[in-house]
């Protein structure tokens, strides 16, 4: 069995969209972010049936344990300030541009720090690049939780992957975006 510090590889993971049969195992998922556990247990499946988000459950193949999940949905960025100017200079005059939003992303406490968060960001990037060949899609967005007392907050986590700050929101979150086209 892998030691607790070893990175987990994508080949060790099975990714399944949430469905009815997963309901009994959802409460086994433990995270210090209680709101993200509540969403998984109470809302993720219901939101999916209502076509408001899709939740991908990440299972460790060797034990069939649920170790992480990510929920995604359609979004749009309203162009303001510097971003508006940036696109205006390129002749793009729309008020908003289409995006894929990471609505929720969470790794179980026991598996933190083993690269699973990174793998999930890579998964969303691949999903977004694939979707951008089928529908108009320019950005990935997320509302990251701030923790002013620590560099260990999700704003810093997302910055590692090239996400930039769009604006600060109330309730301690920061809207962030990543442009799918590198310039
Ligand atoms: C944020 C989160 C997804 C990171 O998952 P993880 O699997 O532990 O991350 P990884 O192991 O892939 O870490 C990648 C790098 O980011 C860093 N990192 C991890 N969590 C971080 C955080 N919260 N803030 C800043 N950096 C972080 C790690 O130190 C690591 O750096 P290293 O490669 O130099 O060691 C995880 O902490 C989590 O689920 N938190 C609770 C829910 C949450 O905040 N979700 C995001 C907002 S909805």
For residue 106, is it within any domain?
yes
For ligand 1, is residue 156 a contact (CB within 6 Å)? yes
| Lowest model confidence (mean pLDDT) among 19-33, 52-66, 115-129, 147-161 | 147-161
For residue 1, is it within any domain?
no
Mean pLDDT of 80-108: 96
For residue 113, is it within any domain?
yes
- Name the band, by pLDDT with cuts 50, 70 and 90, for residue 151: low
Q: In what order do the strands lie in the sheet with 164-168?
A: 13-17, 54-60, 65-78, 96-107, 139-145, 173-179, 164-168
The helix/strand/coil state of 81 is helix
For ligand 1, is residue 152 a contact (CB within 6 Å)? yes
Show Cβ contacts of residue 45 under 8 Å, excluding neighbours closer than 6 positions. Answer: 18, 19, 20, 22, 23, 55
Owning domain of residue 34 = 10-179
For residue 2, is it within any domain?
no
Reference 124, options 158, 175, 82, 164; nearest CA is 158
Pick the residue whose CA is nearest to atom 42 on ligand 1: 106
Number of domains composing the chain = 1
For residue 5, is it within any domain?
no
Distance in Å, CA 13 to ligand 1 centroid: 18
Report the distance separating Cα 102 and Cα 56, nearest Å.
11
User: Given this model, what pLDDT does residue 146 score?
Assistant: 80
- We report the CATH number of the domain holding residue 141 as 3.40.630.30
Mean pLDDT of 85-105: 97
Tell which wins on pLDDT, 21 or 147.
21
For residue 3, is it within any domain?
no
Count CB neighbours of 17 within 10 A: 11
Q: What is the CA 4 to chain-centroid distance, rounded?
A: 24
Report the distance separating Cα 159 and Cα 177, nearest Å.
10
Mean pLDDT of 142-170: 86
What is the number of the ligand 1 atom nearest to the C-alpha of 7? Answer: 11
pTM as predicted: 0.94
């Amino acid at each position: 069995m892998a030691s607790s510090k070893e990175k987990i590889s994508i080949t060790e993971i099975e990714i399944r969209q949430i469905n009815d049969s997963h309901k009994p195992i959802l409460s086994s998922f433990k995270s210090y972010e209680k709101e993200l556990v509540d969403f998984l247990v109470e809302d993720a499946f219901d939101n999916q049936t209502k076509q408001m988000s899709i939740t991908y459950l990440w299972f460790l193949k060797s034990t069939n344990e649920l170790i992480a999940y990510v929920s995604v949905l359609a979004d749009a960025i309203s162009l303001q300030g510097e971003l508006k100017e940036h696109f205006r200079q390129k002749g793009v005059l729309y008020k908003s541009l289409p995006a894929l939003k990471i609505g929720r992303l969470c790794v179980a406490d026991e598996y933190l720090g083993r690269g699973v968060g990174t793998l999930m960001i890579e998964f969303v990037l691949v999903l977004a690049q694939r979707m951008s060949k089928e529908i108009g899609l320019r950005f990935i967005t997320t509302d990251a939780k701030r923790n002013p007392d620590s560099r260990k907050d999700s704003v810093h986590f997302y910055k590692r992957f090239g996400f930039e700050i769009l604006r600060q929101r109330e309730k301690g979150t920061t809207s962030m975006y990543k442009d799918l086209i590198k310039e």
